[in-house]
Amino acid sequence: AASVEHTFVVNQTKMTRLCKETLVTVVNGQLPGPTIEVTEGDSVTVHVVNRSPYNITIHWHGVKQFRNCWADGVPMVTQYPIQPNQDFTYRFNVVGQEGTLWWHAHVPGLRATLHGAFIIRPRLGAESYPFPKPHKEIPVIIGDWWEEDLAEMARNMTKGIFLSYASSSTVNGLVGDLFNCSGVTKEGYVLDVEPGKTYLLRIINAGLFSEFYLKIAGHKFTVVAADANYVSPFTTDVIAIAAGETVDALLIANAAPGRYYMVALPNQAPLPDTQTPEYATRGMVRYKVSHSTCTSSTTVSSCQGTEEEEKGYRGTSGDAPIVPKMPDIHDTITSFYFHGNLTSLHHQGQLPVQQQVHERLFIVLGLGTICKKGQFCKRGSSDEDLLVATMNNASFQHPTAIPTPLLEAHYYHTGLINATTQELPKGPPKLFNFTDEALIPFGPKEMQLEPTYKATLVRRFRHGAVVEIVFQSTAILQGDSNPMHLHGHDMIVLAQGLGNYDPAKAVATYNLVNPLIKNTVLVPNLGWIAIRFVANNPGAWFMHCHYEFHLSMGMAAVFIVEDGPTNDTSLPRLPVNFPTIGQDINLMPN
C-alpha cells in the first residue's frame, strides 16, 4: 500500500461565471477542488492550510475512518474547527472500500465550493472491476453556482431564514450554455468520447440542496455502484442523485457520431417563484471524429486540429446538439423508482445483513418553531421565534456551549458530555398521519408536531449493536429533499415506501437478500425508508440531513458508538499533536 499526500490551501479567489466575477472560497484555487485518488489499502495525509477568513474542517464523505473518528472532520463533534491562518493535518487509511466518494468542508454553506472527488481504486487494478474495464474514468461533479455570499447565507440559514437561490447548477464547476453570455465550449463541461468506447462516470452531487436528474441525449447509463458500493448493473436513461450521494455509471459511446447535451436538472429544489428551467446546467458529450470521416477532405493530422475536430464533432447529425427530454422539476417518483431499482451486487452471506435487531429508532423528520415564551406556540403567531428542522421534534444544537469537541468529551470528560447533551428520542411523541398534505401549509394539525426544542442530541450505542432506523418524511417539509447521511458506517437499505410507515406491511417488503448499501439514503418525499447498521466503529459520528438548510436548522444528531471489549474494537486515544482541551488550539504546524 502506498501513502498519498496532499496539501490543501484554502483560499479566496475570484472566478468568473455568468459573465460576472464572484469571490469564492476554494482549495488550491480550483473548483471543483483537487481529486484525491487512492488504491484501497493506501494511507492518506492531507495538510489543510487555512488562508480563508472562515473556520473550516474537511470531511471525507463516506470514508469509514474505522477506529479513526479523530479524522472525520466535523467541527466540535470530532475536532476544533481550523481557524483562519491555522493548519491541521488529516491522516487516515482507506480500507475495505472502493468506488467514488468525495470530500467537502463541513461548515455551513461553504461546501458549495470546497469539495472534490475522492476515488478509491481496487488493489488488483481496473481488471478486477465487476464490469468491463472502462476506456476512461471521468469525475462528473454536479453542484451549484452561487453569486450570494455563502457565509452570510449560512448565517441566515442557522436563523431559519432562507432567501437565497443558486444562480445556476454546474457540472465540474461550469455553468453551461443556457445563459445569454455563455457558450457551451467556453462555459460548459465537455466530455470528448471515441466511438464505441466505454466510460466510467463517477458522479457526485456536491450541491447544497437539490437532488438532480442527469441525462445525456441519445445515451443510456448502466449504474454499477452507489456510495462506493457495487450494485447489480442497472440500465437507465436517467440518473437521480440527491445531495451527498455518489453514483458510478458506465456510458457507452454507441450513438451516431455527433454532439449530445448532458443536462443536470435540479428537482426538489428550493426555487424562486419565477423559476425557469435555465436553472439547469448543460454540458456536452462530443464524439471525436473518426479517421475515415476525416480523410475524405483532410489529412489525419489536420483532423486532430481544433477547428477540423470541431467540424468532425458535428458528425452526421447536423449542427445542433441533441437535447434530452428531462423529467419535470417536481417529479419525485422517477427518483423513487431509480433508488428503489438499485440492489447490491453482493448477496446475503457476503453482506452484513443482521436478522436480530437490538435497537429500533423511528425518526420523524419535520420543521418546528422555538417560541419566545417557552416551547409551545402556534406557527405564524407573534410568539414565534425561530424556525428549526427536527428529528422527533428535537433540533440539534452545535455543542458550542462546551469547551471541547464531543468526541474528546466522550473519552476524557464524561461529566461534561452528560451535562451538556440530551438523548435523541427513539420515536416521535405522537403518531399521526405524517404525510397528509392537508398539513400544508401549516394547518392546525401541524400543531401535533409541537413542542419543539433545541439540544445537543446524542444517542449512545453499545459496541456491536444492530440498529434499525425508519426515517419518516412529513408533509410539513413541503417537498424538500431529505438525504440522510451517517458518518463512519454503511447503512443497509431494507425498504422504502410512500405514505406512513406501517410495520405490519413494511416488514414483509424488507430486502435481506441483496439490499443496497449506502452512506446517504434519500427519504422518499411523503414516504419513508428503513435501514440497518451495525454500530461497530467506536467514536462520535454525525448523522444528519445533507440538505444544507435542514442541517443548518438542526436536522442532525451525534451517534456515540462505545468501545468494544478489546483493543481492536476500541478507538485509539488522541493522536499526537491533536489539539485538546486546555491546549492552545493553534493546530499542529508540523
Work out the end-to-end distance of the chain between its first and last CA atoms, rounded to an integer number of angstroms: 24
Our CB check for ligand C2O shows the closer of 396 and 453 to be 396
**61 touching ligand C2O, by CB under 6 A:** yes
Q: Residues 17, 59, 67, 339: which binds ligand C2O (CB under 6 A)?
A: 59
Our CB check for ligand C2O shows the closer of 74 and 191 to be 74
* Dist CA 97 CA 528 (whole Å): 27
Binding mask 313-342 for ligand C2O (x = CB under 6 A): ------------------------------
Q: How far is the CB of 220 from ligand C2O (least distance, A)?
A: 29
Three-class SS state of 71:
helix
* Dist CA 13 CA 36 (whole Å): 21
Of residues 491, 548, 556, the one with CA closest to residue 154? 548
Q: How far is the CB of 62 from ligand C2O (least distance, A)?
A: 8
Our CB check for ligand C2O shows the closer of 119 and 284 to be 119
Of residues 384, 460, 472, the one with CA closest to residue 427? 472
* Dist CA 468 CA 462 (whole Å): 14
Our CB check for ligand C2O shows the closer of 250 and 522 to be 522
Q: How far is the CB of 548 from ligand C2O (least distance, A)?
A: 10
Please give the size of the binding site for ligand C2O, defined by CB under 6 A.
10
Q: How far is the CB of 365 from ligand C2O (least distance, A)?
A: 16
Binding mask 530-549 for ligand C2O (x = CB under 6 A): ------------x-x-x---
Query: Which 259-318 residues touch ligand C2O, going by CB under 6 A?
Result: none
Q: Residues 67, 485, 518, 550: which binds ligand C2O (CB under 6 A)?
A: 485
Measured in whole angstroms, how far is the alpha carbon of residue 535 from the centre of its chain?
21
* Dist CA 580 CA 84 (whole Å): 18
Q: Tell me which amino acid residue 398 is.
A: H
Q: How far is the CB of 221 from ligand C2O (least distance, A)?
A: 23
Q: How far is the CB of 333 from ligand C2O (least distance, A)?
A: 26
Of residues 299, 281, 278, the one with CA closest to residue 289? 299
* Residue for grid cell 470541431: 310
Q: How far lies 333's CA from each of 59, 132, 244, 519, 558, in Å?
A: 31, 31, 19, 22, 31
List Cβ neighbours of 88 (8 Å cut-off, separation of 6 or more): 47, 48, 50, 57, 79, 82, 587, 588
Of residues 484, 461, 497, 491, the one with CA closest to residue 543? 484
Q: How far lies 298's CA from each of 302, 311, 319, in Å?
A: 6, 11, 19
Our CB check for ligand C2O shows the closer of 282 and 544 to be 544
**244 touching ligand C2O, by CB under 6 A:** yes
**67 touching ligand C2O, by CB under 6 A:** no
**60 touching ligand C2O, by CB under 6 A:** no
Q: Tell me which amino acid residue 135 is.
A: H
Q: How far is the CB of 246 from ligand C2O (least distance, A)?
A: 10
Q: Which residue is nearest to ligand C2O (CB)?
A: 61
Our CB check for ligand C2O shows the closer of 489 and 546 to be 546
Our CB check for ligand C2O shows the closer of 74 and 231 to be 74
**106 touching ligand C2O, by CB under 6 A:** yes
SS (H, E, C) 398-444: CCCCCCCCHHHHHHHCHHHHHHHCEECCCCCCCCCCCCCHHHCCCCH
Q: Residues 6, 17, 64, 104: which binds ligand C2O (CB under 6 A)?
A: 104
Strand partners, 117: 102
Q: How far is the CB of 74 from ligand C2O (least distance, A)?
A: 6
Our CB check for ligand C2O shows the closer of 109 and 218 to be 109
Q: How far is the CB of 58 from ligand C2O (least distance, A)?
A: 11
Torsion 160-161-163-169 (CA) sign: negative
Our CB check for ligand C2O shows the closer of 245 and 450 to be 245
Q: How far is the CB of 404 from ligand C2O (least distance, A)?
A: 20
Query: Which 364-423 residues touch ligand C2O, going by CB under 6 A?
Result: none
Contact call for residues 268 and 477 (beta carbons, < 8 A): no
Contact call for residues 395 and 453 (beta carbons, < 8 A): yes
List Cβ neighbours of 507 (8 Å cut-off, separation of 6 or more): none
Our CB check for ligand C2O shows the closer of 104 and 454 to be 104
Our CB check for ligand C2O shows the closer of 450 and 548 to be 548
**515 touching ligand C2O, by CB under 6 A:** no
Q: How far is the CB of 72 from ligand C2O (least distance, A)?
A: 8
Q: How far is the CB of 36 from ligand C2O (least distance, A)?
A: 15
Our CB check for ligand C2O shows the closer of 75 and 283 to be 75
Binding mask 556-575 for ligand C2O (x = CB under 6 A): --------------------
Q: How far is the CB of 243 from ligand C2O (least distance, A)?
A: 8
Three-class SS state of 533:
strand
* Dist CA 208 CA 572 (whole Å): 34
Our CB check for ligand C2O shows the closer of 206 and 494 to be 206
How many Cα atoms within 13 Å fall on the side-chain side of residue 220?
7
Q: How far lies 136's CA from each of 199, 253, 372, 423, in Å?
A: 5, 12, 58, 48
Q: How far is the CB of 59 from ligand C2O (least distance, A)?
A: 5
Q: Residues 286, 460, 487, 518: which binds ligand C2O (CB under 6 A)?
A: 487
- The residues binding ligand C2O (CB under 6 A) are 59, 61, 104, 106, 244, 485, 487, 542, 544, 546
